[in-house]
Structure 1
Amino acid sequence: MEAPTWPAITPDEAAAVLACFPDAPAIEALHWHSPRPFSAATLIHTGGDALLLKRHDRRVRSVAGLAEEHGFIAHLAAAGMPVPDLLRTGEGTSAISRGDWTYELHRRAPGEDLYRDCLSWTPFQSHGHAHAAGVALARLHRASEGYAAPARIVQPLVGSLSILSAVDPIAAAQAYVDARPALGAFLEKRPWHKSLASLFATSGEGIAALLALQKPLWTHNDWHPSNLFWAADGQVETVFDFGLADRTCAAHDLATAIERTAFAWLDLGEGRDDHIADPMAALSLIAGYETIRPLDAVAKETIVRLLPLVHIEFALSEIDYFAGAVGDPDAALIAWDGYLLGHADWFQSVAGREFLACLRAGLNLS
């Protein structure tokens, strides 16, 4: 547990922002402040609907950057997907800029926030929750079909797909780094070309060809239980937090969901590395997904092959965030050594190979 990166939203600050949104009821109290590290958020009690106010550093999210994810949310809502209701200003915009900050305002969505107090990378409480999350993810992918917005502009903390999909992933990684000066400054002191080349040689063979067969799709890219509100029967009631959303593909989103929910990553390096994986959670998520959107053998193969490396692009984006907007080289180093390299290395361990073999057997892959 660490202190929040960004200062808490104050009552006066919230009142000034809500004054720009004519449909926002008057504030009664700020009820809760989010512990999430990448932005500040507060749950506001009002005389009407509860509201969630979220504030970003402008270097992390501009109004244009928020408009990208809000456009996706609006498309999903129109397709019947349960997502938060965005409020708009008198000018019709869904985000505003004030000083060094950018703000967005949502109505509090229905459902219980069962994982609100859990740490990041917390697995599902049950395989039933994993199955329900798979059902919801398939519904989101079905609702996403037809959304033709281009990939997002360069900004920190986005779950994009430009490196693993490239025939030459090192060249694609170089282009990714060149577009992000803070990331480049961090990596220039390290033999990062050699490190990534080793990972691609070990785990990346054939991934670009498999991804070329997958249909491009706007995806969530941050699918874990604390981004879901839950119904009393254990089903997903609302999906939220589209900050990492971008144009990738369904297999990439599924691999990301498994990588973030089927492992107790916080226990990595704590003496129980052989016991952090739960292949049944991964298989339950996929089984739930297939009740709505069946997967062919190529898609399943793509998911399994992606797993050891699917986190790489977001890890680089996280390093860019820590090295740039936050100015925290120690956190950037953890993201490089512990996250990008550490997670990939685990899949080469005996336990990692056993997990992949179990997943293959459960999916009937040779």
Structure 2
Amino acid sequence: MTKRLSHGMGLDPVEPDWPALTAAEVRPLLADFPAAGDEAHLTWHSPRPFSAAALVESASGTLFVKRHSPRVRTAAWLAEEHAFLDHLARRGASVAQVLRDRQGRSAIERDGWTYEVHEKAQGLDLYRDTLSWTPFQHNAHAFAAGAALAKLHRAAEGFDAPSRTAGVLLSNLKLFGAPDPLAAIEATFEQAPALAEYLQARPWKETLSELHLPLQRELLPYLQRQPALWTHNDWHASNLLWSEDGPQAQVVSMLDFGLSDRSFALFDLATAIERNLVPWLELDQGRAAIADLDALDALLQGYASVRPPSRDDLLALAALLPLVHADFALSEVIYFHGILGSAESASLAYDNYLIGHTRWFLEAEGQRLLKHLRQLAARVN
């Protein structure tokens, strides 16, 4: 039997956090879905972390089944995500349909787990085996991804649900977007004791005050001008399916809204830049992380072909990028320290991700990227 490995926090594959899905558990699950039937042949297991997922051949075709720990996602927490997907589908966005069981539920709790079932999305999975923070294969892909993100933002308009209630693994800017981020972080400790426990052993207030808060003060005026919008928040090439294998490929479908939440459009665009255009894994290996400014231009040009950013938008992006990851990094600390009990991964989330990525933006290569954005802004009327 081939040993299954998962994507980790670095370049090397790791033991998966969660046991793989099996046909024995998927068959009775699908039996409750009228559109699926009780046949289940698992053809591929996702290497992505945070959950267990697989493609499953059923009587009605190929399905995507995902299983979560209820400490990460309850049925109620997943239903909030699925409501967003339903809205996007009604607005014409190319997202996979979420299936309902005989009781009308899109998220099912059984045997100590939480499950969701989707139709297989259309398109080629050109980046199936790539890690997050790996670049686009072509600048044309960056352009197509930018245009698709702008179309998603158009489709998201009118979805006015409140922010998600899950306590872990959401991407937003609630903490570092608050007037006093340190107080906002402390206010979460009662609901997130794992974060309080982890931070108490570190000089976190001093570190954030020195590194993050000066940047946050520059960002805050821009945040006050951003209209709220539900966003994807994990926009990278491996969460997109494509029309063909080559530089002419277009985005056909959008996947994995697991980190989606109520934020604002520029947060999503900044996340797309951070996820795709800086080779962070090179930085984690002690090598230089050289930002791809040509791909950045292509991504922004694609986005502008649908929703042209203003001068103020581009300046806001430059102010936002050094902090766009920060809330999610703390959420990962909760996950790794409080749920998995992994000291190594929690340290990577705090030291490499929360601290290291912000520090990179203050150094020469990060400043080159931010200067480029400000130069683009200066050319906009």
Q: How high is the TM-score relative to the length of structure 1?
A: 0.96
8 A Cα contact 1:28 1:44, kept in partner: yes
After TM superposition, the structure 1 stretch with the greater mean CA deviation from structure 2, 124-133 or 55-64, is 124-133
Query: How far is the alpha carbon of 1:59 from its aligned partner?
Result: 0.2
Look up the match of 2:131.
119
- The structure 2 residue matched to 1:156, chosen from 147, 168, 193, is 168
8 A Cα contact 1:94 1:105, kept in partner: yes
Query: How far is the alpha carbon of 1:193 from its aligned partner?
Result: 1.0
8 A Cα contact 1:165 1:212, kept in partner: no
Q: Deviations over 1:205-238 (max 9, x none)?
A: 2312111101000000000011111112411100
CA distance in 2, matches of 1:254, 1:332: 26
- The structure 1 residue matched to 2:150, chosen from 129, 133, 138, is 138
1:249 aligns with 2:261: no
8 A Cα contact 2:212 2:358, kept in partner: no
Matches for 1:192-211 after TM superposition, within 5 Å: 192-211=204-223
> What letter is aligned with 2:251?
V
Look up the match of 2:335.
321
CA distance in 2, matches of 1:125, 1:4: 27
CA distance in 1, matches of 2:238, 2:162: 27
8 A Cα contact 2:326 2:354, kept in partner: yes
Look up the match of 1:88.
100
CA distance in 1, matches of 2:182, 2:26: 45
CA distance in 2, matches of 1:364, 1:306: 17
Look up the match of 1:53.
65
202 and 187 in structure 1: CA distance in 2 versus 1, 3 angstrom threshold:
same
Look up the match of 1:267.
282
SS at match of 1:325: helix
Look up the match of 2:313.
299
8 A Cα contact 1:96 1:104, kept in partner: yes
8 A Cα contact 2:72 2:166, kept in partner: no
CA distance in 2, matches of 1:149, 1:164: 22
SS at match of 1:6: coil
Query: How far is the alpha carbon of 1:130 from its aligned partner?
Result: 0.7
After TM superposition, the structure 1 stretch with the greater mean CA deviation from structure 2, 194-203 or 290-299, is 194-203
- The structure 2 residue matched to 1:227, chosen from 233, 239, 243, is 239
RMSD between aligned residues: 1.5
CA distance in 2, matches of 1:196, 1:263: 22
Query: How far is the alpha carbon of 1:362 from its aligned partner?
Result: 3.1
SS at match of 2:177: coil
Matches for 1:282-297 after TM superposition, within 5 Å: 282-297=296-311
- The structure 1 residue matched to 2:31, chosen from 15, 19, 22, is 19
1:237 aligns with 2:252: yes
CA distance in 1, matches of 2:318, 2:187: 26
CA distance in 2, matches of 1:10, 1:324: 26
CA distance in 2, matches of 1:214, 1:5: 37
Unaligned runs of 5+ in 2: 1-12
Query: How far is the alpha carbon of 1:153 from its aligned partner?
Result: 0.8
Structure 1 runs of 4+ with >6 Å offset: none
Unaligned runs of 5+ in 1: none
Between the aligned residues of both structures, percent identity stands at: 48
Q: Deviations over 1:314-364 (max 9, x none)?
A: 000111111112111221111100111111111111111112112222343
1:43 aligns with 2:55: yes
CA distance in 2, matches of 1:302, 1:252: 10
SS at match of 2:164: coil
Look up the match of 1:337.
351
CA distance in 2, matches of 1:169, 1:110: 41
CA distance in 1, matches of 2:280, 2:48: 17
Query: How far is the alpha carbon of 1:179 from its aligned partner?
Result: 2.9
Look up the match of 2:293.
279
8 A Cα contact 2:141 2:250, kept in partner: yes
Query: How far is the alpha carbon of 1:365 from its aligned partner?
Result: 6.2
CA distance in 2, matches of 1:172, 1:61: 23
Look up the match of 1:147.
159
> What letter is aligned with 1:264?
P
8 A Cα contact 1:164 1:207, kept in partner: no
Query: How far is the alpha carbon of 1:28 from its aligned partner?
Result: 4.8
Look up the match of 2:375.
361
SS at match of 1:299: helix
28 and 97 in structure 1: CA distance in 2 versus 1, 3 angstrom threshold:
closer
CA distance in 1, matches of 2:186, 2:318: 25
> What letter is aligned with 1:52?
F
CA distance in 2, matches of 1:263, 1:224: 12
Look up the match of 2:9.
none
1:180 aligns with 2:180: no
8 A Cα contact 2:31 2:37, kept in partner: no
8 A Cα contact 1:58 1:100, kept in partner: yes
